[in-house]
Structure 1
């Protein structure tokens, strides 16, 4: 008959329900996971976020401004007031040129100015004004990069957008009509469709920005068939509301005035375009705000929410795991 072994009187069963080895293994796992999360948190902030905050190379967007003002009617050869004015700005990235550049975003931009008479235009050259150009920017800093067929030679800190992480300070904004930068002054915060952004404003005094060959009669010189007239530009007021995290423009308002003067003239002889306010349409504002919410949310996730959560959880796990490892080494019942 088989006898059942009895435990020795000196034998004491372990009070640990999972055996002597599991607490040590679990503590090492906790310590390892906690350490990993503590390393991951700053990595997300210092490495991942900067690589997420870059200008895209595959953008294709259209912004539409509308307003009223005076425009020069070439058929009537005079300035006509109270006209609806539409400015359409399309931005399309050149992916191939962007990839070849290595670090730049290459964006081809077309800007057209129309009245109801020229909309919709089968040929954009029928518009009051049609301007194609190329903006090349450093994908991280937003600074102009002078390569890849850039035209014109753009300068400044911002143009179609601001840099990421917009600050409460003045910025040098490229005004393509002026052909130079203007200083935008920070004016506090403003909400666009319930979403808060930083507000910037500027004005542009009357400045000569080019010449144009026109009939002499247009600039009060009827005896001369052709005159190289001076083009002058000013702006009643520029207002931009910008998303702080992404630098995306949520709302834009401009008040352009473009005129012609006789060579050496001291006053305007003809008004080509004059409007106190041409601003983003409701649809353009909605699209800009929706995109800003999405993109800033992703940046906040990798730059703040996840790193903070990883740091807190990592500290807790590492602390618990380390304490269990130390206690396990001191307790003979958990080691061989």
Structure 2
């Protein structure tokens, strides 16, 4: 006599068990490894606004000029693969309508190249690969993954130090919600520059080593919570010169209350945030939860069928000899 177990019950039990094992692996192993800074990044962010700038040709500060800041970020794939870090070359140019369009970025009002290196998972600064400048903090071009409702130390390249940005709730950009962070920078001396004495109120001296000062009226960043991508950025830079030991600004190099992502940049950042966040959500939540629920159901059904098959009525074995007269 034999007890038969249906092959289907074993298939269901095996498939259910597999899905139950797969679900936590996706959430705890695959998703954290998918949340890494890219090495092949190639993106451009444009800030626009109005303000005062120092016109070299006129040798004076002119007001109400349209200002465009262009920030290009390109990943160095070879150095990234070699180092295991995210190596990004960043070029920032500041222009007025007078210098746009420029065939050479060096013709801009200001041209600042740099190389930023970060840990791909934590977004923490990594010091290698001829980085420049040497920076610290928790955020610069982006925030870490899984942004929290707390203050973050944001690297301000003009200041050459970190600025504490405080969490200020949520804000929608192009219909997409992100975490809002704000901060300010009080007037701070950042260096010196040799200029004609007349420029800083000392006409009797042909050249002086003027003091460079920097402040920021308002830094506002709106960040995608899951990916740390900045979907909106606004800054209010003020850069001035003072006579050596002076207590007041003698010349304004740049002053704007608001330079912010233009419409095209906002749309592109929101589009990228939606795509990247959706992919991480699928790997870290949607698929694991679905796999867990389906796995539990299949395993339960399979187990029930196995138990029923083993505890069912015995059936005659066709190989038993029959009695004959």
Category of TM-score, reference length = shorter chain: over 0.9
Q: Which residue of 2 aligns with 1:284?
A: 265
CA distance 1:252–1:296, change in 2 (3 Å) = same
CA distance 1:324–1:238, change in 2 (3 Å) = same
Alignment of 1:135 onto 2:116: yes
> Would the aligned equivalents of 1:256 and 1:274 in 2 still touch at CA under 8 Å?
yes
Provide the rounded CA distance (Å) in 2 between the counterparts of 1:261 and 1:97: 41
The alpha carbon displacement at 1:332 in A equals 3.9
Q: How does 1:247-326 map to 2 (within 5 A)?
A: 247-326=228-307
Deviates more, 1:220-229 or 1:276-285: 220-229
* Structure 2 unaligned blocks of 5 or more: 318-325
Alignment of 1:240 onto 2:221: yes
Q: 1:30 aligns with which of 12, 20, 36?
A: 12
Q: Which residue of 1 aligns with 2:144?
A: 163
Larger Rg: 1
Q: 1:56 aligns with which of 20, 26, 38?
A: 38
Provide the rounded CA distance (Å) in 2 between the counterparts of 1:33 and 1:335: 31
Q: 2:65 aligns with which of 60, 83, 99?
A: 83
Provide the rounded CA distance (Å) in 2 between the counterparts of 1:126 and 1:86: 14
CA distance 1:334–1:277, change in 2 (3 Å) = farther
The alpha carbon displacement at 1:119 in A equals 0.4
Q: TM-score, normalised by structure 2?
A: 0.95
Provide the rounded CA distance (Å) in 1 between the counterparts of 2:57 and 2:172: 42
CA distance 1:290–1:334, change in 2 (3 Å) = farther
Q: Which residue of 2 aligns with 1:119?
A: 100
Q: Which residue of 1 aligns with 2:201?
A: 220
Provide the rounded CA distance (Å) in 2 between the counterparts of 1:289 and 1:299: 15
Provide the rounded CA distance (Å) in 1 between the counterparts of 2:104 and 2:204: 34
Which runs of at least 4 in structure 1 moved beyond 3 Å after TM superposition?
Answer: 20-23, 332-336
CA distance 1:76–1:334, change in 2 (3 Å) = farther
The alpha carbon displacement at 1:64 in A equals 0.2
> Would the aligned equivalents of 2:3 and 2:310 in 1 still touch at CA under 8 Å?
no
User: How many matched pairs?
Assistant: 316
Tell me the SS of whatever aligns to 1:322. Answer: helix
Q: Which residue of 1 aligns with 2:211?
A: 230
Tell me the SS of whatever aligns to 1:223. Answer: coil
Alignment of 1:153 onto 2:138: no
Provide the rounded CA distance (Å) in 2 between the counterparts of 1:95 and 1:315: 43
The alpha carbon displacement at 1:69 in A equals 0.3
Alignment of 1:69 onto 2:62: no
Provide the rounded CA distance (Å) in 1 between the counterparts of 2:22 and 2:4: 27
> Would the aligned equivalents of 1:24 and 1:334 in 2 still touch at CA under 8 Å?
no
Q: Which residue of 1 aligns with 2:26?
A: 44
The alpha carbon displacement at 1:213 in A equals 1.1
Q: TM-score, normalised by structure 1?
A: 0.92
Q: 2:176 aligns with which of 191, 195, 205?
A: 195
1:6-54 Cα deviation digits (max 9, x unpaired): xxxxxxxxxxxxxx99852111100000000000000001111011100
Alignment of 1:144 onto 2:125: yes
Tell me the SS of whatever aligns to 2:260. Answer: strand
Tell me the SS of whatever aligns to 1:321. Answer: helix
